[in-house]
Structure 1
Amino acid sequence: MSHALVIGAGPAGLMAAEELARAGHAVMVCEAKPSVARKFLMAGKSGLNLAKDEPFEAMLPRYFEAARPLRPILESFDAQAVQDWARGLGQEIFTGSTGRVFPRAMKASPLLRAWLQRLGSAGVAFRTNMGWQGWEGGMTVFDGPQGREAIVADVTVLALGGASWARLGSDGAWTGHLATRGVALSRFEPANVGLQIGWSDHMGKHLGHALKGVRFKAGPMSSRGEAVISETGIEGGGIYEVSRAVRLQHRLSVDFLPDLDQSTVAARLSRPRGKASLSTHLRKALRLDPVKLALAQEMARPLPQDPEALARVLKHLRLEHQGLRPMDQAISVAGGVRFDALTPGLMLKQVPGVFCAGEMIDWEAPTGGYLITACLATGRWAGRGAAAYAAEAA
């Protein structure tokens, strides 16, 4: 029996462990934190969006440049497969109006408990507080509870996460160990992250309030999602969906009235307003709420009086900002192990017998189920590749 080592106990690592165990290998999962799947559990606090129920060809472009190398991996474990997997763990799921798939329980813990129980029944062993320290000769070295410890394995899967939410385990520290082996890496950058804005006092009473019914646009990307005015800027799905384009230096704007064309907005603004203030006129003519009015004043004060010019501002308000929030506050990252450093089976070309899975590989995707889907799919693919490698070497 071959001995397989999985480093990292997030969804990618757990999926790899399950595939290795299913193939008959003795599997040990080592996790640096005191408990497993911490980021997975944190994601579950907002509902655990497992997948997006949509045709495969609609899903694939959401992975941008990585769509081509990910295609066979996602084809083998697509959104429908994710749903079947969750049901197989006894979890009832449902699909929302936007096609997003959630567990009926709307949290990760019941699914994780069922999964860990199934892994335990398959013989998968877990060790926590095991911080990976690289390799020495043919051994994998850890900083464990009793100090330095070396483990010998026939095959290894690395599922070490990216470089966001370091307190949950994804700190990117592993990059140094791979760089010393000559593994090609792309620099980590924030993805699915909020916008940094230094607000004036004028915005103080609007902090914590939502921007609804708007469209954000940056370069080729746009989003009808909501966002929240936070103390440090703007947060939420609407901004996250366009944060990649912002990172690539495209100008960001917001359309307060996406269901009206500019000429209609101008026509409504041309109605007589009598002695009403501009703010009152905007509320009555366009039903702009106080948050939108405040943001318009913040970014374009003084607002033009001419209806055509004002309509243009409200349809294309440029959001001046100081960039994206720090990477450790991002939901996910771009960057990591480059696909050209991996075989089609996700084995490191520079380190035979070592496979990679999950966010540590250089791909990115928006929120909405795409992240978890790809983590599960790459974990399954790497686990199967590792199992086949170990079988051939036996």
Structure 2
Amino acid sequence: MPPSPSSFEVAIIGGGPAGLIAAEVLSRAGLVVIVYDRMPSVGRKLLMAGRGGLNLTHSEDFGRFVARYAEARPKLEPLIEAFRPEDLRAWCEGLGQETFVGSSGRVFPKAFKASPLLRAWLARLDERGVRFALRHRWQGWDDEGRLIFTDAAGAPVQARPDATILALGGASWPRLGSDGTWADLLAQRGIAVSALRPANMGFLCPWSEIMRSRHEGEPLKRIALTFEGATVRGEAIVTRDGIEGGAVYALSARLRDAIAQDGSALLHIDLRPDLSHEALLKKLSLPRKGQSASTFLRKSAGLSPVGIALLREASPALPGEPGALARLIKAVPLRLTGTKSLDRAISSAGGVPFSELDEHLMLRRMPGVFVAGEMLDWEAPTGGYLLQATFVTGLAAARGVLARLRIPDAALTLKPPSATRQT
């Protein structure tokens, strides 16, 4: 007779979305699950993401969706296929949190925040007997292979589970729990870890004092950014030392890598992407009638004060010839000289390469130890892609544990009975 699921104990280290979804899968299967986290509460980064509405996933075509993961697509696509964006929405709604699709195609809970979802989720886990060991900092393994923690008082705590899932996050926003110190612990066990780098972050550029003092915090709306042939429409924000925002994040991986290689990157900003060059040229060819340059640009080209200031950053003496001025407005050059720090990035790149893992996300060198979430070496733009991959890797790692312990999960589902897959 096979062993009962309740005879197995699984340790999940990290109480973010990847760890919590793994705990849900395993507890549904009847295993004893203990979630360890160094913080006093779990889901802190999820709550932080919820301040912006909690972008769960995206509603776009599946092929386009998985293409967002670039080099990691071959590894992530089958995992996402097993738990697609519509499945994540159904799971969320099964917790009593209805979702909606925004005008950009992004998916949000109707509550537009994370706290109701997290409360319902933790209540479900509590009902299923999931235990939480909070204020426990993971210290690696001892010589006998036991997990080592220190508790809130600094006292050592040991555990010898039947399987372990590592879901400690990346290294962005370390005050919320994911500080990246696990990289050294894995390296000590011979596990290769790609260097952790900022992702979906802002960039540094040498603003003039006028730009800093007058326009810090102002948005650049309805713009288009172009770098190395890739163009993204959206918005950005001028910061005291650079630029950030959704459109910037979409190009951040390319910009970051270019700066690492060349020391800087030249970004071009189209301040009026809704107007063709010809249409803009026609507006700029109208008589000025004694208007100042700023007034003329505001009235004829529809530029905001911060947009006009950006033009002057690139060309203090604005071109007088309408054609040259139109070309500048359609492609304002902005030299980026560095990235904002990793601890302020939305997410991080780098981590455990998929080559270190089997098809179940188990470390090849450490049987019984699985890795999920942002610890893995993948990155994606904002727009729901980050959370979707975090959920699916947590789910995949949990199912990997079930496969290793030979516990069937064929009947296991995270969807409510009424949920049906959209085609």
- TM-score band, normalised by the shorter chain? over 0.9
How many matched pairs? Answer: 392
Q: Secondary structure at the match of 2:15?
A: coil
- The Cα shift of 1:310 comes to 1.4
What TM-score, normalized to structure 1?
A: 0.97
Please point out which of 169, 187, 202 is paired with 1:194: 202
Please point out which of 176, 182, 192 is paired with 1:184: 192
Q: Deviations over 1:245-289 (max 9, x none)?
A: 211215311001101222322232222224322222222221111
Q: Detail structure 1 runs of 4+ shifted over 3 Å in the superposition.
A: none
Q: Which residue identity lines up with residue 75 of structure 1 in the other structure?
A: E
CA contact (8 A) 1:6 1:159 kept: yes
Q: Which residue identity lines up with residue 57 of structure 1 in the other structure?
A: G
> Cα gap change, 1:256/1:14 in structure 2, threshold over 3 Å: closer, same or farther?
same
Equivalent residue number for residue 367 of structure 1: 382
Stretches of structure 2 lacking an aligned partner (at least 5 in a row): 1-6, 259-264, 408-423
CA distance in 1, matches of 2:205, 2:134: 39
Q: Deviations over 1:169-219 (max 9, x none)?
A: 111100011111111221111111112233222122222211111111122
Q: Deviations over 1:33-56 (max 9, x none)?
A: 111011011101111011101221
Stretches of structure 1 lacking an aligned partner (at least 5 in a row): none
Please point out which of 49, 68, 73 is paired with 2:74: 68
Q: Which residue identity lines up with residue 307 of structure 2 in the other structure?
A: K
Q: Secondary structure at the match of 1:213?
A: strand
Please point out which of 98, 122, 129 is paired with 2:104: 98
The answer to whether residue 179 in structure 2 is matched with residue 164 in structure 1 is: no
Q: Deviations over 1:116-156 (max 9, x none)?
A: 11111111100101111000122000011241111110000
CA distance in 2, matches of 1:372, 1:85: 13
Q: Secondary structure at the match of 1:320?
A: strand
Please point out which of 149, 168, 179 is paired with 1:142: 149
Equivalent residue number for residue 40 of structure 2: 34
Q: Secondary structure at the match of 2:280?
A: helix
Indicate the percent of aligned positions where both proteins have the same amino acid: 48
Q: Which residue identity lines up with residue 272 of structure 2 in the other structure?
A: L
Please point out which of 128, 133, 136 is paired with 1:130: 136
CA distance in 1, matches of 2:148, 2:315: 57
Equivalent residue number for residue 399 of structure 2: 384
Equivalent residue number for residue 266 of structure 1: 281
Equivalent residue number for residue 338 of structure 2: 323
CA contact (8 A) 1:193 1:243 kept: yes
- The Cα shift of 1:339 comes to 0.6
RMSD (Å), alpha carbons: 1.3
CA distance in 2, matches of 1:106, 1:271: 46
Q: Which residue identity lines up with residue 161 of structure 2 in the other structure?
A: A
Q: Deviations over 1:319-357 (max 9, x none)?
A: 123222111110001100001011011000111100000
CA distance in 1, matches of 2:304, 2:243: 17
1:1-394 to structure 2, matched below 5 A, reads 1-136=7-142, 137-146=144-153, 147-203=155-211, 204-249=213-258, 250-391=265-406
- The Cα shift of 1:103 comes to 0.9
CA distance in 2, matches of 1:334, 1:208: 26
CA contact (8 A) 2:269 2:333 kept: yes
CA contact (8 A) 1:93 1:103 kept: yes
Q: Which residue identity lines up with residue 304 of structure 1 in the other structure?
A: P
